[in-house]
Amino acid sequence: MNRSRSSWDKKAPHPAVTRITRSSSSQVRHPTEAQDSALAPYGKQRKKQADSALAQDLSLMSVSGQDILPSSKGKSSKYSRKPTQVGESSGSRSATKSVSRRSLASVARLVKLGRCKNVVVVAGAGISTASGIPDFRTPGTGLYANLEKYNIPYPEAIFNIDYFSNDPQPFFSLAKALYPGSHRPNYIHYFIRMLHHKGLLLRMYTQNIDGLEKLCGIPDDKLVEAHGSFSTASCHLCYTPYPAEEAKHAIMNDNIPICTFCAATVKPDVVFFGEDLPQKYFLHAEDFPKADLLIIMGTSLQIEPFSSLVNTVRSTVPRLLLNRHAVGPFEKVPLRRGDHMELGDLEDTVRRFAEMLGWNDEIKELMRSQETGHISTLINSPLSGMLDPPSITETSRAGQTGNSGSEETDSETDSKSSASSNLSN
């Protein structure tokens, strides 16, 4: 991973095109048309690549309204670190709900007609709340609302590379609750896996570090973990690789892993604010121009540059937002022609979408086979005697979520119970 702490220094030289740092800002955005940014190589191809048949379908089925694209004035690919709260008026909410009624059916029809063969999925923490993992920004139950005990100046500081350099203990304390292994993929993850099974998934771009996408069977070549993962570790200063299991063992035992080369602190390769994104992230330069459907789910679209990716598909490409609230370009009313959204509980929405596509039974069978295999592996493992029987039962129950009607499908309920248990460690 090509990372440099100098990316956090406001006086540092302008970064190269292939070096973009993670930042949190709702006020600074990539240029929507990407004409003046690192995405410029395909910015002028949009009009030339319009699919007339797809455009005709969209004109018949999409929500009425003129194309509305955010204006673009900035030309820099470097972003300031200014966490902000997202506000939404009641008028905006009622308007956005009224235009989303037939969105799922419209997009499902496009897929069934064979119009969408290169689907790109952009996902955030909301897809994992049904697995018992809290998201970041839900008031009261999100991760950022439960960090008071770490005595940090502001919530996002716990993922700030400069703050980590001075005091790694807050992150390591939180990491004990975040490390993968305690949670299983849910119906939403397996829906995305089914997109791959049907040969429709071009790529999935995820902000999540929980590893559930890989765990449900999405191949590595179809997955971009834009904010890194716990699967590898390295020195935060000299980037010398460090055995991931040794780092985990140290952190779980309240020790700080130390680099054997420079004696600086080692951390999992989770991308902090101020660090460069992994090289694989730049696949977007070839993926988004190819996409013929963009599905956005479970994200607040608050982290740059990830959030601006949704603005880089061709103007004729349908974009479907599956979320609890309208975010990013979907907050504008009327929506851009070809934009669709369905607001509400994400797991319930994805299940209805799968039913429209005729995939629900296949997804439930996939979950049964995958999760049953996982339970068998646990029971037959040499370490099975160390496993607590209730934990096996809970894992089995997580694998059967696709079989129940509405039990525990509210992500806010899941987030609340998980936040109280995981963050109390």
Return the active site residues.
Answer: 227
Residues in the chain: 425
What is the Cα–Cα distance from 181 to 362, expressed in whole angstroms? 26
The 10 Å Cβ neighbour count of residue 170 is 18
H, E, C per residue of the chain: CCCCHHHHCCCCCCCCCCCCECEEECCCCCCCCCCCCCCHHHHHHCHHHCCHHHHHHHHHHCCCCCCCCCCCCCCCCCCCCECCCCCCCHHHHHHHHHCCCCHHHHHHHHHHCCCCCCEEEEECHHHCHHHCCCCCCCCCCCHHHHCHHHCCCCHHHHHEHHHHHHCCHHHHHHHHHHCCCCCCCCHHHHHHHHHHHCCCEEEEEECCCCCHHHHCCCCHHHEEECCEEEEEEEECCCCCEECHHHHHHHHHCCCCCECCCCCCEEEEEECCECCECCHHHHHHHHHHHHCCEEEEECCCCCEECHHHHHHCCCCCCCEEEEECCCCHHHHCCCCCCCEEEEECCHHHHHHHHHHHHCCHHHHHHHHHHHHHHHHHHHHHCCCHHHCCHHHHHHHHHHHCHHHCCCCCCCHHHHHHHHHHHHCCC
The 10 Å Cβ neighbour count of residue 370 is 18
* Phi/psi-derived region of residue 131, left when phi > 0, alpha when psi is between -120 and 50, beta in every other case: alpha
- Residue matched to tokens 């949190």: 24
Q: Using alpha carbons, select from 405, 407, 409, 374 the residue that is nearest to residue 392.
A: 374
What is the Cα–Cα distance from 291 to 369, expressed in whole angstroms? 31
- Residue matched to tokens 């997202």: 86
